[in-house]
Structure formats: C-alpha cells, structure tokens
Amino acid sequence: MTVLLLGGTGEARELAVLLADAGVAFVSSLAGRVARHRLPVGEVRSGGFGGVDGLVEYLAGVEAVVDATHPFATGMSANAAAACARTGTPLIRLERPGWSAAPGAEGWHWVDGHDEAAVLTAGLGTRPFLTIGRQHLGSYVGPLADAAALVRVVDEPEIPLPDAWVVRLDRGPYERERELMAGHRADVLVTKDSGGTWTWPKMAAAGELGLPVVVVRRTAAPAGVETVPEPAEVLAWLGQHLDRAAAGTTEP
Ligand SMILES: NC(=O)c1ccc[n+]([C@@H]2O[C@H](COP(=O)([O-])OP(=O)(O)OC[C@H]3O[C@@H](n4cnc5c(N)ncnc54)[C@H](OP(=O)(O)O)[C@@H]3O)[C@@H](O)[C@H]2O)c1
C-alpha cells in the first residue's frame, strides 16, 4: 500500500522530499515525455497509465493519490479524478495559485486558449517571446508566420517552425529574462497562467520593459477535488487519510 504522487512539477518534487522525510511510502509518476527529467527523490515510475481504465488498474495497490501535475496537465488531472471516483481512492490536488492577482495582471491580455493567443499576439507585435511550451506551438505557426519569434522550450519542438523563428532550449532557472528579452528586442510576451515563482522573472521583466503580455487562462479543475497550494498541506491531509485507512474506515 502506497501513495501515488502524480508529478512533473517543482511542487511535486518538494512534496517527495517531505514524504521521504516523514517515512511515507510513495511512488512518483512522470509522463516520461521530457528528454531530460529533473527527478524527484524516491521511487519513480514513468509513462502513461493507459487512460482511466489503466489508472484504475494501477490504483489496486494505492492508498491515496496526490495530483501534483502542472496546472495545464488537464488530461491527467481529469483521469485521476475519474479513476479515484471509480475506485473510492482518496484524492487531493496540489496546485500553485495562478497569477490573476499578481502585480500588473489587470493590464495583461487574458485569453482562453492558444489559437486566440496567437491571433491576438500577431496584432500586438512582430517579435514575440513565446513561453508556452512546445505542445501548442502549432497554434502560433500560422498567425505568426511572418514574425521573428523567440521560442523557449525545454525540448526540441516536434513540428517545423518558420525560418525566422529562433528556438532557445532552456529548462531554467530563468534569471536573466530582461537581458534575454531586450537582446531579442521582444515586443510582446506570451505565456500560460502557470503561476508560482519559478517562471515569474519573465513577467517582471515584461513589466519593466513595458511589453504587452498575453496570458492563456487555466481551465477549471475537476469538480469536487480538494485542492491545496502547499506541499505541507498535502502531508497533513495524508496523515488523516492514511490513519483512517489503517483503522479500516473510509468515512470522511
Ligand atoms: N502542460 C504543461 O504545461 C506542463 C508544464 C510543466 C510540466 N508538465 C508535466 O508534464 C507532464 C505531462 O503534461 P501534459 O500537459 O502533457 O499532460 P496531459 O496532457 O494532462 O496528459 C496526457 C497524458 O499523459 C500521461 N501523463 C501525464 N502526466 C502524467 C504523469 N505525471 N504520470 C503518468 N502519466 C502522465 C497520461 O497518459 P495516460 O492517459 O496513458 O495515463 C495523460 O492522460 C505532467 O506530468 C505535467 O505535470 C506539464
């Protein structure tokens, strides 16, 4: 019996340290799509489960699930909610707050998806800095075909990009954002509402340089899943749920 920690984020790695220190048996799960993983402490499994059915099968040996995946990994979160509902496995979501209340947020351009972000960006500048990951680059290729985009990704993009685009492979830490953006003469920043402090320096730099910022909103999390922002809160929650499981009751 163990805890399944769905990870791929800095918070998940922080939580893994807390769990290891507390002597909780757990397995971290990674999607396995990034070439150069930053690994958490403890046992790690890698690769998809095979949808909800596969995850249901995997949960046979699992006492509780912590969904600490990225705020934009909505497929995995939905699958975790569905599989835990089916098996009655306690589930908690660890999610960093977004940037909607951050300094300057009221002046940013908030959009609901990447297609909308791409079209809007094309109207705001000709030298965009794209920091939206590689999965959704396809949405930007058409509207920004004539732009001189700077694209920052962790791994090589999987699709052909316009010749004038510059790809920068970088997994952070992102400490010289102002220099990078000024060096490219970026005139608009595009990002997801990832939240947290890890990628905040680009937002601060855009503010300092007076650049417009396009932000793709998060979609709503699966309904009915308790969500906390701090790894320590997950540890407290697990304390209650693991005690209850040991006592043979699943009553709330
Ligand atoms: N999306 C982002 O912007 C972003 C940014 C930073 C880190 N990440 C991390 O990268 C991973 C993939 O993100 P995504 O947006 O591609 O996910 P996604 O679209 O929500 O998930 C697609 C499928 O990938 C598999 N998967 C995703 N996360 C997994 C995990 N932690 N362990 C095992 N399988 C996983 C699952 O496959 P099956 O259906 O086969 O189980 C899932 O259905 C996540 O772990 C996430 O935390 C994502």
Write the Ramachandran bin of 32: left for phi over 0, alpha for psi from -120 to 50, otherwise beta: left
Kindly report the number of other CB atoms within 10 A of residue 194's CB atom. Answer: 22
Sign of the dihedral defined by the CA atoms of residues 138, 150, 185, 210, in that order:
positive
pLDDT in tens, 193-238: 999 999 999 999 999 999 999 999 999 989 999 999 999 999 999 9
pLDDT band per the 50, 70, 90 thresholds, residue 38: confident
DSSP three-state, residue 237: helix
pLDDT in tens, 13-31: 999 999 999 999 999 999 9
Ligand 1 mean position, distance from CA 6 (Å): 9
Q: Which residues line ligand 1 (CB under 6 A)?
A: 6-9, 29-31, 33, 48-51, 54-55, 69-70, 72-76, 79, 133
Q: Tell me the mean pLDDT in the region 133-137.
A: 96
pLDDT at residue 65, rounded to an integer: 98
Ligand 1 mean position, distance from CA 75 (Å): 7
Q: Which atom of ligand 1 is nearest to the CA of 50?
A: 40
Ligand 1 mean position, distance from CA 145 (Å): 28
Domains observed in the chain: 2-95+221-246 (3.40.50.720), 105-216 (3.40.50.720)
